[in-house]
């Protein structure tokens, strides 16, 4: 049995990634925060397509919850390990820096950056022991370019990119790859408050991306074919910024 843990699997990009990896034969350990109904729907979709999954809700930004969830999973699967980790959970709390509140800053950093740290540190042990694994981090165009109104989000994603590059070098000798994917604008709940008609004029492809398009890239990075790709940040943004 091959296991892939996807954080933020209940909606948007995480949902599409879960479906794509299930198609590749992985049993999906579906993490999400609190939206049980959405997660159950994704689980039904995976199973209807012949795939397998397990629901695993916890707050990635809470180290005790991360530790407890991984310990519980390990106890229930003593002979298995999670060989693919997709750190996808993320939140946006946009504001101009001069108006930004402490909680807007910390919640974004805690989810994207600290969540990556708590969970990856824990699952990496098994990947190193088994001499193989994939860590795929969901960064953003915002972390490469910086976007006004998103100093918190840009900082979190830029830091995630730095961590990706550093960790990739630490674990490469054990055949564990660590890469980041940097989407531009993708049609999900996270972008539904944006003016798509206005923003798509700035995109050379003249449209937002689809979660499935990001998922296909993640699925490739998780596959054996991507064994020699590590420490990279791969943009998927319709030509918006390269």
Q: Which residues bind ligand NAP (CB under 6 A)?
A: 7-8, 10-14, 31-35, 38, 59-61, 88-91, 111, 138, 140, 183, 185-186, 188-191
Dihedral angle, C-alpha 151, 58, 167, 104, nearest 10 °: 10
Q: Which is nearer to ligand NAP, 33 or 134 (CB)?
A: 33
- Rounded to whole angstroms, how far apart are CA atoms 56 and 222? 20
- Rounded to whole angstroms, how far apart are CA atoms 207 and 48? 30
The count of other CB atoms within 10 Å of the CB of residue 204 is: 11
Q: What's the closest the beta carbon of residue 59 comes to ligand NAP, in angstroms?
A: 4
Which residues pair with residue 28 across a beta bridge?
4, 53
- Rounded to whole angstroms, how far apart are CA atoms 88 and 182? 11
Mapping DSSP to helix (H, G, I), strand (E, B) and coil, where does residue 203 land? coil
Q: Which is nearer to ligand NAP, 2 or 210 (CB)?
A: 210
Q: Which is nearer to ligand NAP, 3 or 32 (CB)?
A: 32
**Geometric angle at alpha carbon 37, from 1 and 189, rounded to 5°:** 95
Q: What's the closest the beta carbon of residue 74 comes to ligand NAP, in angstroms?
A: 19
Q: Which is nearer to ligand NAP, 41 or 74 (CB)?
A: 41
Residues catalogued as catalytic: 153
Q: What's the closest the beta carbon of residue 27 comes to ligand NAP, in angstroms?
A: 18
Q: What's the closest the beta carbon of residue 131 comes to ligand NAP, in angstroms?
A: 28
Contact in structure between 214 and 152 (CB atoms under 8 Å): no
Q: What's the closest the beta carbon of residue 83 comes to ligand NAP, in angstroms?
A: 20
Q: Which is nearer to ligand NAP, 119 or 127 (CB)?
A: 119
- The residues, ordered by sequence, that sit 6+ positions from 61 with a Cβ below 8 Å of its Cβ are 107, 110, 111, 114, 115, 118
Contact in structure between 29 and 38 (CB atoms under 8 Å): no
């Amino acid at each position: 049995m091959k296991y892939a843990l996807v954080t933020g699997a209940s909606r948007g990009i995480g949902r599409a990634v879960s479906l794509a990896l299930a198609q590749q034969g992985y049993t999906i350990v579906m993490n999400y925060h609190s939206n049980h109904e959405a997660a159950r729907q994704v689980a039904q979709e995976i199973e209807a397509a012949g795939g397998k999954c397990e629901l695993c809700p916890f707050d990635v930004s809470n180290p005790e919850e991360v530790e407890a969830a991984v310990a519980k999973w390990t106890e229930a699967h003593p002979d298995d390990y999670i060989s693919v980790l997709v750190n996808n959970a993320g939140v946006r709390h946009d504001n101009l820096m001069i108006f930004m509140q402490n909680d807007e800053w910390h919640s974004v950093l805690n989810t994207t950056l600290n969540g990556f740290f708590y969970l990856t540190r824990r699952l990496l042990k098994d990947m190193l022991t088994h001499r193989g694994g994939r860590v795929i981090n969901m960064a953003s165009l915002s972390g490469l370019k910086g976007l006004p109104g998103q100093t918190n989000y840009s900082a979190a994603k830029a830091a995630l990119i730095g961590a990706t590059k550093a960790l990739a070098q630490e674990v490469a000798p054990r055949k564990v790859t660590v890469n980041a994917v940097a989407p531009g604008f993708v049609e999900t709940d996270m972008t539904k408050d944006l003016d798509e008609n206005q923003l798509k004029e700035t995109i050379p492809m003249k449209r937002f991306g689809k979660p499935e398009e990001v998922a296909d890239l993640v699925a490739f990075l998780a596959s054996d074919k991507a064994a020699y790709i590590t420490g990279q940040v791969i943009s998927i943004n319709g030509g918006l910024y390269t």
